[in-house]
Chain A
Amino acid sequence: MIKLDDIHKAFGSNQVLRGMTLEIPKGTSMVIIGGSGTGKSVALKCILGLIKPDSGSILVDGKPADSGDRDAFLARFGMLFQGGALFDSLPVWQNVAFRLMRGALKRPAEEAREIAIEKLRRVGLKPDVADRLPAELSGGMQKRVGLARAIAAEPEIIFFDEPTTGLDPIMAGVINDLIREIVVEMGATAMTITHDMTSVRAIADNIAMLHDGVIKWTGPVGQMDNSGDPYLDQFIHGRAEGPIEAVR
């Protein structure tokens, strides 16, 4: 279980998180929704330790996220970045097998390559993609390579940062289906941030609505349409009028 308790984070005078509290039960898929600039990515980076919160606590399976062996902690995570964040200088298979070629999970290059090709196949890419450079791939293919890298070491927890941004609806659907399948298949705990409502319905077990640095509503995805929460209602229906100001 991942538990965020009263997380505050400011960048200069810009207070992004103002006491965010959220629990993500083990083996479930939580989707955090909210407008641009509401702190979704910041929350995710706080859990990973990429950003240090100003106050509050983050527990992963009951242990503080910032204590203990950092490498062992990070080895439990996989992450799909918004833009893919693939390493330009490395061919696709080395991107996918990056974690398997270094550190505690290191294995022979041949074996790492085989695993990479298997993971590429899992996300619907052919083996001939393996030797290409990321710049030679389309946006959708890069996203799938990023997904293959996120699952390469079979992590217990997977984060997806806006997995369908910039993709056409068909490719977005493919990515959503893949994420759902992989999370169910691996039994992983997943945390996705997005403002794509199609993704929310495809991926989520539970959703949380983040606005103004705090969670306004959280619950099962099935209750989303009848939540009675004005923030969530406005967001999921895409209305300009409501408690969320259109001009931020």
Chain B
Amino acid sequence: MNPLALLARIGRLALDWLSAIGRVALFGLSTLTHMLRPPFYGRETLNALLHIGWLSLPVVGLTAIFTGGALALQIYAGGARFNAEAVVPQIVAIGMVRELGPVLVGLMIAARVTSSIAAEIATMKVTEQIDALVTLSTNPMQYLVAPRVLAAFLTVPLLVGIGDIIGIAGGYAVAVHNLDFNAAAYLKNTVDFLEPLDIISSLVKGAAFGTLASLMGCYYGMQSGRGAQGVGRATKGSVEAAAVLILAANFLLTGAFFSV
């Protein structure tokens, strides 16, 4: 291939990537401004709180309990190689609260909520429901996007907190019932080892991941192309983008909270 053509292709890709970042940033900014100015749609926000928060609890709980249990088994087995089996409570606690809790909840939200938001809004766009909203003097950014992003910002930290507790409980159950740990000592070690910063970082990550997940769902839904293929592409793109952004944001936030 001609080197100049290759260079042009790389340049075009870079420009496309930068313009996509710009569009997402502008969409985020627009969402923020629509969240702050009336009219506020209370019923839509309550609905979003229910769907994003309450109805995600089962999947978050199940993910966390199995992850906590598996983590306890892994740490026990790995620790046994250098006689460090006793650190199971501390590592489960720190692993769940600092990393696995927020990241897994974030990814489950991306799978469950981002996809559902993108598919719903994309279908509304394809079936002219978004146009209908506009003709009925209702701003889709205010009616559809702002309530969902606000609800995710508020509820995902709570889900992360609950996921952390359930994950630790999963580790506790496995350690006490399968690995013969003393129950009281396990709990004491867990509580003593965790610091406020661990919990704060977990909740901040939850808020960031929830915002990113819902924003990607809304963005891809609103940008959807025509027909079933458009809806499919929007849904797939939203989940991919949300998952990647969550992992990237996790790296940045971990660095910001715990870099030495």
Contact = CB atoms under 8 A, between A and B. Distances in A.
B131 A75 contact: no
Contacts of B132: 79, 81, 85-87
A83 B131 contact: no
Interface stretch (B26-34, B110-118, B133-141, B212-220): B133-141
Interface in B101-142: 124, 127-129, 131-132, 134-138
Given A102-B39, A103-B39, A74 B137 contact: yes
A48 B135 contact: yes
A45 B137 CA distance: 14
Interface in A66-94: 70-71, 74-75, 77-79, 81-83, 85-89
Nearest to A51: B131
Q: Tell me which of B127, B128, B131, B132 has the highest count of chain A C-beta atoms within 10 A of its own C-beta.
A: B132
A71 B137 contact: yes
Interface string B137-154: 110000000000000000
A48 B134 CA distance: 9
Contacts of B127: 83, 85
A49 B139 CA distance: 13
Given A102-B39, A103-B39, A85 B134 contact: no
Contacts of A98: 136, 138
A79 B130 CA distance: 13
Contacts of B128: 81-83, 85
Contact of A85 (B39, B47, B131, B138): B131
B34 to A, nearest CB: 15
B135 A79 contact: yes
Contacts of B137: 70-71, 74-75, 99, 102-104
Nearest to B131: A50
Contacts of B129: 85-88
Contacts of B134: 48-50, 74
Given A99-B136, A103-B39, 18 more contacts: A45-B131, A50-B135, A71-B137, A74-B134, A74-B135, A79-B135, A81-B128, A83-B127, A85-B127, A85-B129, A85-B131, A86-B129, A87-B132, A88-B124, A98-B136, A99-B137, A102-B136, A102-B138
What are the 9 tightest A-B residue pairs by CB atom distance, in nearest-first order? A85-B132, A85-B128, A71-B137, A74-B137, A79-B135, A81-B128, A99-B136, A85-B129, A98-B136
